[in-house]
Each structure stands twice: as structure tokens, then as C-alpha cells.
A = this chain, B = another copy of it.
Amino acid sequence: MNQRLCVAVVGAGYWGPNLARNFRSSPDWELSTICDLDSERAQRVADAVGGVPVTTSLDDVLADPTVDAIAVATPARTHHAVVMSALRAGKHVMVEKPLADQRGRGVDMVREAERRGLTLMADHTYCYTPAVLKIRELVQEGFLGDILFVDSVRINLGLIQPDVDVFWDLAPHDLSILDFVLPNGLDAATVAAHGADPLRTGKSCVGYLSLPLAGGAMAHIHVNWLSPTKIRQMVIGGTRRTLVWDDLNPQQRVSVYDRGVDLALQSKGSADSTASNISYRLGDTWAPALPETEALAGVVSEFAISIRDSRPARTSGESGLRVLSVLEAASASLRCSGAPSPIASTEAIEPILAGAEA
């Protein structure tokens, strides 16, 4: 068995306790420290996992040579500073979503990790749920055929965040899932965002994203803080089958429908109308059994493997960056009343990096 890696959790707010608990119970990790500016909050998290040292000093954590890695669960606007310091101190880093509060800062972070050969991992927790792992498998083995559309709804009576709008708060979930399951990842050239702020909070509380995908397909995301009913549903339509993921139905989270529309190829010179070449399949429904495992256990395991094997995490810094690219383009689209806005390619960062190294 490998020696355990040593990790510190930075940030003891909403997500930190979950990280601490999962690192604590992981065979891959030694949980060394809880770090938070609020020492009482840090202590509560430490107590809840049976006691570990706490500190209010990030510098002390980074100066500790026994610490291999840090997991960052601080507010998004602090990610850049915390992560850059950690990378410079030679630590591997896992960051809560979103990777950063601006795309440019995310680029910095990804470049810095690459330059130093350190793991930078995005904590896209949903990607490690049994449902999403199964969806990825089905999509990527072609069980659904070519993807025709993806429609994702994530609505709830939600906390109105002080610093981010509903897009930056909720859509990272949907975007990271799309990036994870689609054969070509989040491969959209533009995004159109429509938002509403009917309560005059100063930011969108209701939002819609339209992302045209390659081949005429479309992804669409609906996020909403004002809905009295909670819906977390994603439909992925394919040429062969269509999948519905209803995350709030524990008895049947993932259903695959062998139903759909078939369009026969028209032979040249055919006098047939288009309509006559359409047929409908009304086949069976199948719901795969899914294990009941905690996603975050998979996250911390992947973080360890990525470090040990010196390979990018399955939800790498780049994937976090692709999410940021869409969010930033969405914000630009919002400022233009919903006109489609180009999404910066993450391909572009490599030559620049090469140039910087030259």
C-alpha cells in the first residue's frame, strides 16, 4: 500500500466540513490541518472529525513541508490568491467550483500548475456521483447515439448569494457535467444568456443559457433561485436513445428511453416529402441500478491518484477553465441583452504558455 499523502483543508464554511470528513475517512490521505481565518469555525470542523490541528495562518500551512496538498473551499474571489501561493509553495491543489471568479485568473492558475508540474484539480463533485459516472459511460460508448440536445434544469428556492449571480452560483454544476459526459466536452463556440432580476437584487436570479453544439445540437441550462419547487433534471437526447436524469428521484435517477424520431436519409431525386421519411420508435425504458456511494469520496481518491501518477485529474484545472470560459462569455452576453457571445477557447492558453516559458 502507498504511503498516505498529507492534506490541509483551507476554508471551514459550507463545503469545508464535507472535505474534512472525506479526507479523514480516505485510505489515501492524512488530514493534517484545518485552516480558516475564523478559528472557532475551524475548531468546530476539526472537532467534528475527531480532532485535528487548526490554524488561522495559510502561510504556516504552506510552510509546512509535510503538507503535500491543499483543498480550497474559500469564497471564489479568494481562489486566485490562495491557489497561486500554494502552487508557488509546491503544493498540489484542489479547488471548489468555480475555479476562480474571472477567467484570466483561472488561466494564471492553470499555467502556474503546468509550469511546476503540480496537480490542479477542480472539485466538480457531481462528476463523481454514480449517476453522472453512468451517464458518461453510456454517452461515450455510443449507447445514446449522436447527441441531439441536452436540456438541464436546476431550480430551487435558493440562497441569493451576496457576490455572484445565479449563473456563477449554479451553472458550474451543469457546465462541469456537460464537460465531463459529452464526447467532445464543453465544445461550444458561443453562448447566449438571458437573465432576470425582478427583485432588484443587482444580479440575475433567474437565468437561461443556450449553447449551440457541433452538428446542429444544442445544450440549454435553466438555473433559478426563485422556484418554490426543486427540480434537478437533465435530458440528453440522442439519435439512438434518450436519457433522463432526475436527481431527486432516488428510486429511478437515470432512465434510458428507447424512444425517438428516426429520419431516413433521402435518396437524391426522391419525390417523397420530408414527412414521409420520419418514423417514431416507442421502445422500452431501462433504468440502470446505481450504487449508493458518496461522490466526494471519489473526488479525494481521484486527487490522490492524479498526484501519484502525475496525470491530470479527470476534472482537471483545464475543465474548470472551460467552465469559466462559458461563464465569462455568458456574462458578456447578458450585458448585450442576450446576444450570443463567443467563448474563449482553452486551446489558446498553451502557445501563450510556451511563449512565456521561452
Contact = CB atoms under 8 A, between A and B. Distances in A.
A316 interface: no
Contacts of A287: 284-287
Interface in A146-197: 146-149, 151, 155, 157, 160-162, 190, 192, 194-197
* Chain A contact surface mostly: strand
Interface residues of A, number: 73
A174 to B, nearest CB: 15
Given A208-B210, A210-B338, A280-B157, A260 B201 contact: no
Copies in the complex: 4
Interface in A221-241: 222, 224-230, 235, 237, 239
A260 B198 contact: no
A162 B274 contact: yes
Interface stretch (A32-40, A88-96, A98-106, A212-220): A212-220
Contact of A148 (B195, B226, B337): B226
A274 B201 contact: yes
A111 B179 CA distance: 52
Given A278-B160, A338-B340, A339-B340, A197 B225 contact: no
Interface stretch (A1-9, A251-259, A302-310): A251-259
Given A157-B261, A198-B215, A226 B289 contact: no
Given A51-B50, A275-B160, A285-B286, A200 B218 contact: no
Contact of A286 (B192, B202, B235, B286): B286
Interface of A: 47-48, 50-51, 146-149, 151, 155, 157, 160-162, 190, 192, 194-202, 205-206, 208, 210, 212, 215-218, 220, 222, 224-230, 235, 237, 239, 242, 244, 251-252, 257-261, 263, 273-275, 278, 280, 282-289, 337-340
Given A51-B51, A229-B235, 8 more contacts: A157-B259, A195-B218, A199-B239, A226-B261, A229-B244, A229-B257, A252-B285, A282-B289
